[in-house]
Amino acid sequence: ERLAYVQLAGDVIISGALVHMTGGPDSVFTFLFSLSIINGAILLFRVGALTVATFCSAAFLAIVAHEAGWIVLPGRDTQGPVAQLYYVTFIHLATFYLVAILASYLAEQLRRAGRELDQKTVDIAELRVLNDNIVNSLASGLITVDDSGCIMSYNDGAERISGYPPSKVLGRSLSEVFPEVFDLLTFDSALDGLPRRLETVFTRWDHARIIVEYSVSQLMNARGEVFGKVLHFEDATQIRALESAVKRHERLAAVGQLASSIAHEIRNPLASISGSMEM
């Protein structure tokens, strides 16, 4: 900030010297004062613009005083009283402060917009980090593909289930990495906007075969246009093994219940026969 004030003071001094050497209040270079004021608004906003406007006013008053013969400045002789000197002075000073007010207003608007943009950038970055944390914390796999079937994103759950590292997956076609899944998908407009639940056998990176249950839904942008698909899948191998075990236990329980019923039915006549034999 201190260096900015030094720079602006140097600009005002140079502008004042140029105006003084080229005709004083009638110089065509008086617009340089306005440029210095605008520069002050850009660097230091409202305070800088008003401060530079005050410096420019003081420099212009010194030039006018030299023209009127009240003070003597080096570099150029006095021309004597200038016609309408007070009017010209008032116009220039008013112009300086009007430029300062307008430039400071625009600079403050620019600074406010910059702050809002910075805040939006921070919010977007935090939202992106939150979204990444949520997606990567899922135990299930989540893959997004574009219309051509190229993989755009790939979460940690998908890496744990498939065994494929992201470097082997991102940017490649789904048909190369997950051919079993790709064969069941239709990359056209046949989804009708509804997710579909499917199941297939998948070969992992270590060549182990697992049962994968997955669903496919459309991927849309902020304008509601479909530009890809979302593939959400889970490792259902253990679930299917548990279901098979439950079914096996149910069958064994049914066999046991049937054997118990048969034994009961056999025991009844045996009791009658035993009683008859005893009698």
* pLDDT single digits (tens) 215-258: 888 888 878 888 888 888 888 888 878 888 888 888 888 888 88
**Could you give the strand order of the β-sheet that contains 151-154, starting from the edge strand earlier in sequence?**
151-154, 141-146, 226-235, 209-220, 196-203
Looking at the chain, how many residues does it have? 279
* pLDDT single digits (tens) 75-133: 666 655 555 778 888 999 999 999 999 999 999 999 999 999 999 999 999 998 998 88
| Cα dihedral 71→74→80→83 (10° resolution) | -90
Rounded distance, CA 145 to CA 155, Å?
A: 13
